Amino acid sequence: MSQPVRIDLEGFGKAYGGVPVLRDVSFTLYGGRVHGLLGENGAGKSTLLKAVCGAVAPDTGRVLLDGRPISVGSPRDALRHGFALISQELALVPAMTVLDNVYLGRWHNRLGWRSGRKDGRTFARLLERTGFELDPSALVRDLPLAAQQQVEILRALVSGASVIGMDEPTALLTKTETDRLMAVIRQLAADGTAVVLISHFLEEVLSVCDDVTVLRDGRHVVTGPAAEQTPDSLVRHMVGRPLELMYPEPAPVAPSAPVLLSARDVRRGTAVRGVSVEIRAGEIVGVAGLVGSGRSETLRAIFGADARDGGTVVVDDRAVPSGSPPQAMAAGMAMVPESRKEQGLVLARSVRENMALASLGSRQLAGFVQGGAERSVAGTMLRDLDVRGSDLSGPVWTLSGGNQQKVLFGKWLLERPRVLLVDEPTRGVDVAAKSQIHRLLVDLAAEGMAVLMVSSEVEEVLGLSHRVLVMRHGRLVAEYARGEATREQVLAMAFADDLPGTDPPPEPGGRAAPGRVDPTTPTVSSRTSTEEQR
Amino acid sequence: MTITADTEAATETTGRAAASRFTKLHDFGIVLSVVVIVIALSVTTQTFLSTGNLVNLLDQAAVIGLLACAATLVIISGAFDLSITAVLAVSAIVAVVVTTHAGVPAGMAAAVLTGGVLGAINGLVVITVKVHSFIATLALSIIYRGLAVILTAGAIVYPPDDRVTAFQALSWPTTLGGITAASLLFLVVAAVCWAMLAGSTFGRRIYAVGGNEEAARLSGIRVGGVRVAVFAISGVCAALAGLVLAARGGSAQASMATGMELTAIAAAVVGGTSVLGGEGAIWRGLIGVLLITLIGNGFNLLGWDTIYQQVVQGALILGAVSFDRLLRGRRS
Ligand SMILES: Nc1ncnc2c1ncn2[C@@H]1O[C@H](COP(=O)(O)OP(=O)(O)OP(=O)(O)O)[C@@H](O)[C@H]1O
Ligand SMILES: [Mg+2]
C-alpha cells in the first residue's frame, strides 16, 4: 500500500422540509485509520454517512479524494470511487446465498454466463483475509445477524471499497460478536481502508478508533485523535454539558410486595424449555444470555405474542391465556418488542398514531378517537421521553433510530401496565437517552410496576436489576441477587457448556442442542439465533 | 429528566411546525392536477359548469365512486379485493330475484346482505388460507361470477313489470338540486367511510394493520377481525354499486361491471393511496374517481372522437401521478 488515501468532507449540509439536520460539516478521513462518528440520536450521523456514500442527496457539500473533488451523486457513483456503506438496516437479498450476495451485481462471468467456480475461489481468499467463517452456499435469511453483517462487509471488500462506513454495526451484536467485529475493523484499517464507525458505545469507540468526530444538532463539534478523549469528554461534546453516566439505583422492593407476574414452566418449541419466574411489584428482573438462548422467545411466550406449548402465566391471580396479546394487555401486561421496525412501529404512520395504538380503546367516544385527549397524552409522553426530531404529526420513519425507540416505549407506557416486559430497551439509543430510559425503568418500578427486562448489555442488566437471571439453551441456568454477580460470572454462565473443556448439559430425549452459539467464532449454523431475529 | 436546552427546543418546534405545513401542501399535488383539468374544461366549454352537466357528472361517478371507496379501504388495510364487481353482479341479481318474490325493499336489503356476507367470506378465506388476498379474491371472484351464471341461467333477469318503477328508484332525481338518488347514496357512503377511516378507532386499526401487521398484532389489535370487517364493508359498497347499476338498466346479469374493479383500484391509487398499505385516505380515492370521470365527461363536451379517449385517459392519469410524485419529492 502506497500513500494512504485522504478524504476531505467539505461543508455538508442537509435540510428536510426546511429544517436543517446537517449544517456545514467538514472533517477529514484517512486511509488506514478508523474514524468514530458520535452524537446524540438525531444529531445527523446517519444522514452524513448516507450523503457521503450517495444514498441521500445533500443540499451542500462535496467530497475530495486526495484533493480532487469527486461526484457521489448515487450509491453507484460512490461505489465506483470506493465508498461503501453498511447501513443501520442491512441491505441483503434474503433469499439468495451468501456467495450470490457477496458478489451481487458483479459476478464473474464468461460471455455473460455466470462463473460460480471463479467466485468461489476469490471468496475463499476473502475468508482467509478476514478470518470469517461463512458457508458460501447458505441462504442469507438463515444466518444470524452477525453473520449477515459479515456478508455485507465482504460485499464492500469485493467492490474494492477503500472507504467503508458502518452505521451502528454493533447495536444488535453480543459482546463476543462485537469483539470479533472490532478485530475485523482493525484488520481492514491495517490493510489501508478508511473506516467510519458510528456507535453509541463510547468505550468501544475509544478502544477501536484512531480519530473521533462529534456532531451535535447537525453541527460539527470536534474532530481529533481518540487518545485525547475520555467517555466523559465525549459525552460533554455530544450533549453540550457534562452528564452523570451512572446507573440509577433501583428502589428496594418491600418484602411484603405482592407477586404480580408468575410464569410457571413456560415452554415453546426448542427455544423455551420450561422457564419459571416470579416478579413482585416494584421489582426489576434482568435476563442475560447469548443471542439464541431464548430470551426474546421467553418474553414473547409470556406475553402471548407466540402461543405457548405449555406452562401457565398468572398476572395478579388472573390466568393469562396463551397466544393472545389482547388478553395479556387486559390483564395488565405490556411488551416492548426487540425490533422496532418489524414488530414495534407502523413506520408510515405519525408519532401520535403510533403512541396511541396500544390504548385506542381508552380514549374513544362511540367508536371515535377523542383527538384532544389523544394529542394531550401523546404530547406529554413525547416531552417526558424527550423525543426529538418531530412533532406529533410527523411520520415515525423520519425519526432517527434512537427517537423511534423512545416512541415505542411511550406507546406502552400510556396505559400504565402493571407488568412490563422489555426486550432490549436501549438498542440504538444514545448515552443521554439511555440514562433517561434507565431512570424511567427504575421510576416505573418504584411506582409498583413489575419489570422483566432482556438485554444484550450485561452491564445494563447488572446495573438496573434487583435480580439477574441467566438463560442458556432455553432454560434459566443461574440467578443472582443484586450486587452478587460480576460481569464475568454472568458471561461464564451464559457460555458455560460452549467453553472448551466443559460438557454440554444432557438434552431431553438425548438430542444434542440444535445450533449452539459458539462464543469465539460466530458461525453460520446457529438456527436458534436466526429464530431470535425474526 | 429533560435535557434539551429550552430555547433550542422552541426554535426546533416552530421549525417543525412550518415544515409539516409545507409537507401538507405537497400532499395536494393530485388535487392541483384535477383543478387544472376543471379550469381547462370550464374555459374551453360553455356547458361544463352548467347544473345539468354537474348533476350528470356526479351520477356518472356514483358506481365507480362506491367501488373506489371499497378499494381504498381494502388497499389501506394492506390487501386487494379483486372480487368487488363479481360481488356487485351477484348482489344485483339477488336484488332482482328477491324483488320478484318479496318486493323492492326486501330485494334491496337482500342485496346489501349478500354483499356483506360475500365480503366477509373473502376476508375469512384470506385470513385462514393465508394466500395473498390478490390471488384469493381473484379465485373467489371467478366462483362468484359462476354463481351469478347459475342464478340467472346465463340470461338477463328483470324485475316484474309492476315493480320496475320502484326498482329503478335509485336512478330518479331527488329534490336536492336534481341530483339522482344514486349520487346521494354515493355521497353518503363516501362521507361515512371518510369519517370512519379518519376519525374512528376502527379506522386507526385499519391503518395499523395495513402499515405493519405484526406491530398491530403485538399492540393488541385483532388483525383477523379487522380484515374480515374491511372485506365485509367492501362487499357492502359493491352491493350498493350493484343496486345503482341494476336500477339504471332495470335489469341484472352475470357479466355486469366486468373489469371495473381495476378502474376502482386505479382511482384509489391515482389519488395517492399507497399500494403497500397503511397510507391513504377516502378523499384521495374520490379525487381519483373525479379525475377518471372528468376525462370521459370532457371528451363528451368537447365533442372529441371517443376512439382516442383511452389513450388520453391513460396519459392524463400518468401525468397527474407524475406531477404528484414530483411535488412530494424523493423519499427513501
Ligand atoms: N427522510 C427524512 N425526512 C425528514 N426528516 C428526516 C429524514 N431523515 C432523517 N430525518 C431527520 O434528520 C435528523 C437526523 O437523523 P439521523 O438519522 O441522521 O440521526 P442519527 O444521528 O443517525 O441518529 P441515531 O443515533 O438515532 O441513529 C433527525 O432529526 C431525523 O428526524
Ligand atoms: Mg442513525
Regarding whether A165 and A91 lie in a shared domain, the answer is yes
pLDDT, tens digit, for every residue of A479-497? Answer: 999 999 898 899 888 887 6
Regarding whether A218 and A174 lie in a shared domain, the answer is yes
In a domain, B30, yes or no: no
User: Does residue A50 line the site of ligand 1, with CB under 6 A?
Assistant: no
In a domain, A322, yes or no: yes
> In angstroms, what is the span from residue B176 Cα to ligand 2's centroid?
57
pLDDT at A136 over 60: yes
Q: Do A436 and B20 touch (CB under 8 A)?
A: no
pLDDT of residue A277: 96
A345 interfacial to chain B (CB closer than 8 Å):
yes
* CATH number of the domain that residue B155 is part of: 1.10.3470.10
A146 interfacial to chain B (CB closer than 8 Å):
no
How far apart CA A406 and CA A395 sit, in angstroms, is 14
Regarding whether A303 and A206 lie in a shared domain, the answer is no
In a domain, A338, yes or no: no
Which of A177-181, A518-522, B321-325 has maximum average pLDDT?
A177-181
Q: What is the mean pLDDT of residues A93-110?
A: 80
In a domain, B126, yes or no: yes
Regarding whether A117 and A52 lie in a shared domain, the answer is yes
In a domain, A438, yes or no: yes
The domain containing residue B248 runs over which residues? Answer: 47-258
In a domain, A85, yes or no: yes
β-strand partners of B315: none
Provide the number of structural domains found in chain B.
1
B5 interfacial to chain A (CB closer than 8 Å):
yes
In a domain, A377, yes or no: no
Least confident of A102-111, A379-388, A412-421: A102-111
How far apart CA A211 and CA A364 sit, in angstroms, is 53
In a domain, A287, yes or no: yes
A361 interfacial to chain B (CB closer than 8 Å):
yes
Q: Which value, to the nearest 10 degrees, does the dihedral of the CA atoms of residues A96, A97, A101, A102 take?
A: 180
Would you say A438 and A408 are in contact if contact means Cβ atoms under 8 Å apart? no
- CA-based angle A396:B265:B229, to the nearest 5? 70
How far apart CA A159 and CA B109 sit, in angstroms, is 66
* Ranges of chain B whose pLDDT falls below 50: 1-22, 330-332
User: Could you report the predicted ipTM of this complex, rounded to two decimals?
Assistant: 0.83
B220 interfacial to chain A (CB closer than 8 Å):
yes
Regarding whether A318 and A193 lie in a shared domain, the answer is no
In a domain, B310, yes or no: no
In a domain, B10, yes or no: no
> In angstroms, what is the span from residue A344 Cα to ligand 1's centroid?
18
> In angstroms, what is the span from residue A88 Cα to ligand 2's centroid?
7
B207 closest CB neighbour out of A342, A344, A349: A349
**Ligand 1: residue whose CA is nearest its atom 1:** A398
Regarding whether A496 and A446 lie in a shared domain, the answer is yes
pLDDT of residue B30: 80
Q: Are strands A333-336 and A467-472 parallel, antiparallel or unpaired?
A: unpaired
In a domain, A354, yes or no: no
pLDDT, tens digit, for every residue of A221-267? Answer: 999 999 999 988 998 999 887 777 788 999 999 889 999 999 999 99
Q: Do B211 and A346 touch (CB under 8 A)?
A: yes
Q: Do B330 and A325 touch (CB under 8 A)?
A: no
Q: What is the 3-state secondary structure (H, E, C) of A178-203?
A: HHHHHHHHHHHHHCCCEEEEECCCHH
Q: Do B202 and A367 touch (CB under 8 A)?
A: yes
What is the model's pTM? 0.82
Regarding whether A266 and A234 lie in a shared domain, the answer is no
pLDDT of residue A110: 66
- CA-based angle B61:B64:B69, to the nearest 5? 110
Average pLDDT, chain A: 86
Among B76, B194, B201, B222, pick the best mutation site for testing chain A contact (most A Cβ within 10 A): B201
The domain containing residue A92 runs over which residues? Answer: 6-239
**Ligand 1: residue whose CA is nearest its atom 24:** A41
Regarding whether A181 and A76 lie in a shared domain, the answer is yes
β-strand partners of A476: A471
**Ligand 1: residue whose CA is nearest its atom 17:** A400
pLDDT, tens digit, for every residue of A318-357? Answer: 999 999 999 999 999 999 998 888 899 999 999 999 999 9
> In angstroms, what is the span from residue A163 Cα to ligand 1's centroid?
22
B328 interfacial to chain A (CB closer than 8 Å):
no
Phi, psi of A88, rounded to the nearest 5 degrees: -60, -40
Cell of B233: 364493508
Domain boundary among A239, A267, A282: A239
* CATH number of the domain that residue A22 is part of: 3.40.50.300
Would you say A515 and A525 are in contact if contact means Cβ atoms under 8 Å apart? yes
In a domain, B179, yes or no: yes
Regarding whether A182 and A81 lie in a shared domain, the answer is yes
pLDDT at A310 over 80: yes
Using a CB cutoff of 8 Å and minimum separation of 24, what contacts does A376-383 make?
A: A377/A414, A378/A351, A378/A352, A378/A410, A378/A414, A381/A355, A381/A410, A381/A413, A381/A414, A382/A351, A382/A355, A382/A407, A382/A410, A383/B2
Q: Do A326 and B4 touch (CB under 8 A)?
A: no
A353 closest CB neighbour out of B15, B207, B274: B207
- CA-based angle B172:B175:B181, to the nearest 5? 35
Would you say A42 and A406 are in contact if contact means Cβ atoms under 8 Å apart? no
User: Does residue A58 line the site of ligand 1, with CB under 6 A?
Assistant: no
Regarding whether A160 and A65 lie in a shared domain, the answer is yes
Regarding whether A96 and A235 lie in a shared domain, the answer is yes
Q: What count of residues does chain B have?
A: 332
How far apart CA A104 and CA B82 sit, in angstroms, is 36
User: Does residue A134 line the site of ligand 1, with CB under 6 A?
Assistant: no
In a domain, A358, yes or no: no
pLDDT of residue A357: 94
Cell 374551453 belongs to which residue? B44
Q: Do B3 and A335 touch (CB under 8 A)?
A: no
A342 interfacial to chain B (CB closer than 8 Å):
yes
Domain boundary among A191, A208, A239: A239
**What counts of helices (H) and strands (E) characterise chain B?**
14, 0
In a domain, B37, yes or no: no
In a domain, B219, yes or no: yes
**What counts of helices (H) and strands (E) characterise chain A?**
17, 24
Would you say B266 and B291 are in contact if contact means Cβ atoms under 8 Å apart? no
Regarding whether A327 and A213 lie in a shared domain, the answer is no
What is the interface size between A and B, counted as CB pairs within 8 Å? 115
In a domain, B89, yes or no: yes
